[in-house]
Structure 1
Amino acid sequence: MPTVRLAFHRAKKILLTLASIVIFIEGAFAIVSLQFIVNAVFYKDVIRRQKYLDQSKKNFILLLVTILRIVAPSQVRITTENASIPKNSFVTDRRTGGIVSNMLRQSVIISNHQIYTDWVFLWWLAYTGGLAGNVFIMLKNSLERIPILGYGMRNYNFIFMNRKWEKDRVNLANRLAELDRNAKGVGYLAGKSPIGVATDGEAIWENSKSFERDDKQIHWPYALILFPEGTNLSAGTRARNAEYAAKMNLPKLNNTILPRVTGLRNVLLGLKSSCEVVYDATIGYSGVRQNEYGQDIYRLGNIFLKGRAPRIVDIHLRAFRLDEIPIEDEKDFTEWLLKVWREKDELLDSYYATGAFDLDPAQNTTAMGWCKLTAFEMLSILVFPIFTIFLIIWLMYKRLF
């Protein structure tokens, strides 16, 4: 009997793996095809085109979470700091078992970076607040060249970075100006254009007060996700980080990497007239102990192909208003960011000791639920792959018989 159960378990894993591959490939192809059609049909209708592209962005995170739900379901436990995030901003939906939230509509989300799929859980976090179609992620530019998916990410208006500031500065400034102005109804999506271009390529926008905000136009929300550490925590990055910290007389961190200052500071400066809040997320994964590396345990292949995922994903959130952050002065901002990361590191010390962000319930609120979607959303994602699978089976049957 144990042998039969083991064989059944292995067969089930193989079938789920194959199903996840088919669902992802066909789901991604369907999303990119939709984008291509939308770009062609609504070429001159920028509002409708953007709404459909935003829907395709939501569909992508629905696709990923659907696959996770099938092959490697994880529970998400969110704790929020009551001092900066109102109580019950994140609650468990009794109907679906998932989490819903009332995140603010224009935000920057910063986080420590442990595994390659950190961004999936942060994107899902935005989904809980109805912002799945309004997520923007800063990524390395090599990802832009991935066949099919690169086209999709360009349509999502993700921000691709070279990691060389002299190349990234102008690109980042222009992309932030678009986000900032569209959020106020005075950008490209409101029919506005820059009045010129500087010699370095940076767009020059009208500075008149009449262009600061237009309440007659759509205000497009955004949740911009970035990882100030710039890379995953690993044995190599930890060693290099410790060496750099000692050389520069900076604090030694046990569980995180020293954050990069320039990129985040310029993001906040570029969005200062529209950004409502900076959410500081600290992520911990069950099954990862201190001095181990999540990227080694929960590789992409292990998660999506082998179904090996953390039983619980812990996310602790606190929020900062922009007027609490000294973005105008580089030295003060550096000190602020290092303080945030020291506190994050200490929080992770506690996490690894107890297996949870063991925080005072009088000062923090906890919501826990599965990384779930509604039945309709899952069905909408699975319809095309399931239809295609049955079509292939039917064609094979007709050919053979």
Structure 2
Amino acid sequence: MATPPLFLPLVAMWLLGNMVLFFCYQVVIFLAFRGWSPSLYRSYMASVQTAWVDVIASTFPQTDLVVTGDLPTDPTKPAIILCNHQIDADWWYLWDLARRLDGGGNLKICLKQELKYVPVFGWGLDLLEFLFVKRNIDHDRLHVNQHMARFVREKFPFWMLVFPEGTTIHAEMLDKSNRFAQRTGRPQFSRLLLPRTSGLHTMLAATAAIKPDVYDLTLAYPSYSGEVPTAAMGYSRHTDTGVPSMAAVLCGRGPTRVSIHGSKHAFDDVFGKEEAFLDKAWQTKEKLLDQFIANQAFPTIAQGRVLPSKMSWANIGQLWVSAVVALAVSPLVASMAALWYAGTTASDVLACTWSCVVGSPSKATKSR
């Protein structure tokens, strides 16, 4: 069905307008709370994130999420979530899944560094504490450790979404992945890329003090037949046209249902055994995709359940009002933040000066 001529501009205006409003609200929250109360900061940011995902859900085509297996259901408990990565729209359907499981404000996604610098959108995700990486473990190790350590230290129940394949699948990357697997004695795949292990190990090591559960999700779209596009095709498909790109979703063309199968694993069953765990999990995942191709559904003992779409216009309206109020008082908040920063800086300078003055006689005495 053709997209109405005015649909895309209206969607763009709706999303961009809300994005700018929410970003301004985020800046006020950052200035008001980040420096002295991380818990309040995350609480308010979670409300922004929850409303933002409601805004996206109000815009994108309605989709039934057919789920089987084990999924995270308790937003008070941290979790690390792994998933295969077919297309650029995967992140949205997994965020929508978290929203329907009451974890829309908990979800943090591991994304490539370039997205951090997209005006407004990337800046907003950065304030929501999404994890941006360069996909170079030598560079990312310290950054991931520091990022996750804040969540652990401040007892935030994160749901951290990671795509171990590192990128979406295409034929050239699949060939490269399988050649590497052959050299290293690891499994080769026809529908998946070989998962990377170093990033997962770093993340688990950083969260070892709280031992979050690990959930392995397998995502599949209607009409999926296992087609692997070439790099030149980008996010388009010749056969598997039901696999949605973000461009298609923004134009109002999305699947009526998405299938997600989950399995839950204890932290100690994964940490320190990442390569063996991921190799086995991805072999199971490829079999699940084979079965999905044959039946257009994941196998399960119990019947798959459909998670109803949940959206609160009241939450969105409440956030708009809060954002307008926040913008009205933003000059006061900014001045208070500036005074606080100036005061703490001045006290640090005075303390350093006093230490130097008081400490010098003792040093002089010792030198004699």
Residues 139-172 of structure 1 deviation map (CA, whole Å, 9 limit, x = unaligned): 1111111111122111111111112222111111
Asked if residue 312 in structure 1 is aligned to residue 257 in structure 2, the reply is: yes
Give 1:231 deviation, angstroms: 0.4
Give 1:301 deviation, angstroms: 1.2
Provide the residue aligned with 1:295 in structure 2: 235
Contact 1:104 1:277 in 2 (8 A): no
Q: Which amino acid aligns with 1:64?
A: I
Provide the residue aligned with 1:14 in structure 2: 5
Asked if residue 321 in structure 1 is aligned to residue 266 in structure 2, the reply is: yes
Paired residue for 1:111, among 73, 83, 99? Answer: 83
Asked if residue 246 in structure 1 is aligned to residue 156 in structure 2, the reply is: no
Q: Which amino acid aligns with 1:29?
A: V
Unmatched 5+ stretches in structure 2: 238-243, 323-368
User: Which 10-residue stretch deviates more, 261-270 or 32-41?
Assistant: 32-41
Asked if residue 40 in structure 1 is aligned to residue 31 in structure 2, the reply is: yes
Q: Say how many residue pairs are matched.
A: 311
Q: For the residues of structure 1 that align with 2:178 and 2:83, how far apart are their CA atoms? A: 20
Unmatched 5+ stretches in structure 1: 1-8, 90-100, 184-219, 385-401
Higher gyration radius (CA):
2
Q: Which amino acid aligns with 2:314?
A: F
Q: For the residues of structure 1 that align with 2:249 and 2:224, how far apart are their CA atoms? A: 14
Provide the residue aligned with 2:18 in structure 1: 27
Q: Secondary structure at the match of 2:40?
A: helix
Distance 1:37 1:103, change over 3 A: closer
Provide the residue aligned with 2:193 in structure 1: 257
TM-score normalised by structure 2 residue count: 0.78
Q: For the residues of structure 1 that align with 2:34 and 2:215, how far apart are their CA atoms? A: 35
Asked if residue 64 in structure 1 is aligned to residue 64 in structure 2, the reply is: no
Q: For the residues of structure 1 that align with 2:5 and 2:174, how far apart are their CA atoms? A: 35
Distance 1:301 1:352, change over 3 A: same
Residues 74-123 of structure 1 deviation map (CA, whole Å, 9 limit, x = unaligned): 21101115xxx6xxx8xxxxxxxxxxx44662100000001112112222
Asked if residue 75 in structure 1 is aligned to residue 21 in structure 2, the reply is: no
Q: For the residues of structure 1 that align with 2:52 and 2:172, how far apart are their CA atoms? A: 32
Q: Secondary structure at the match of 2:5?
A: helix
Q: Which amino acid aligns with 1:301?
A: A
Residues 168-212 of structure 1 deviation map (CA, whole Å, 9 limit, x = unaligned): 1111111111111112xxxxxxxxxxxxxxxxxxxxxxxxxxxxx
Q: For the residues of structure 2 that align with 1:113 and 1:106, how far apart are their CA atoms? A: 22
Contact 1:75 1:313 in 2 (8 A): yes
Q: Secondary structure at the match of 1:295?
A: coil
Distance 1:259 1:167, change over 3 A: same
Asked if residue 122 in structure 1 is aligned to residue 94 in structure 2, the reply is: yes
TM-score normalised by structure 1 residue count: 0.72
Identity %: 23
Contact 1:108 1:224 in 2 (8 A): yes
Contact 1:108 1:275 in 2 (8 A): no
Q: Secondary structure at the match of 1:313?
A: strand
Q: Give the CA RMSD over aligned residues.
A: 2.4
Asked if residue 273 in structure 1 is aligned to residue 209 in structure 2, the reply is: yes
- The within-5 A match list for 1:365-384 is 366-377=304-315
Q: Secondary structure at the match of 1:113?
A: coil
Provide the residue aligned with 1:138 in structure 2: 110
Distance 1:274 1:355, change over 3 A: same
Give 1:318 deviation, angstroms: 1.0
Asked if residue 346 in structure 1 is aligned to residue 287 in structure 2, the reply is: yes
Q: Secondary structure at the match of 2:215?
A: strand
- The within-5 A match list for 1:47-196 is 47-68=39-60, 72-81=61-70, 101-102=73-74, 105-183=77-155
Q: Secondary structure at the match of 1:225?
A: strand
Q: For the residues of structure 1 that align with 2:62 and 2:245, how far apart are their CA atoms? A: 15
Q: For the residues of structure 2 that align with 1:381 and 1:50, how far apart are their CA atoms? A: 15
Q: For the residues of structure 1 that align with 2:203 and 2:85, how far apart are their CA atoms? A: 18
Q: Secondary structure at the match of 1:63?
A: helix
Q: Which amino acid aligns with 1:172?
A: V
Q: Which amino acid aligns with 2:46?
A: D
User: Which 10-residue stretch deviates more, 365-374 or 112-121?
Assistant: 365-374
Q: For the residues of structure 2 that align with 1:73 and 1:380, how far apart are their CA atoms? A: 23
Residues 363-386 of structure 1 deviation map (CA, whole Å, 9 limit, x = unaligned): xx52114544245346668999xx
Q: For the residues of structure 1 that align with 2:175 and 2:186, how far apart are their CA atoms? A: 14
Give 1:43 deviation, angstroms: 5.4
Q: For the residues of structure 1 that align with 2:313 and 2:26, how far apart are their CA atoms? A: 24
Q: For the residues of structure 1 that align with 2:20 and 2:318, how far apart are their CA atoms? A: 15
Distance 1:359 1:312, change over 3 A: same
Q: Secondary structure at the match of 2:105?
A: helix
Give 1:33 deviation, angstroms: 0.9
Give 1:302 deviation, angstroms: 1.2
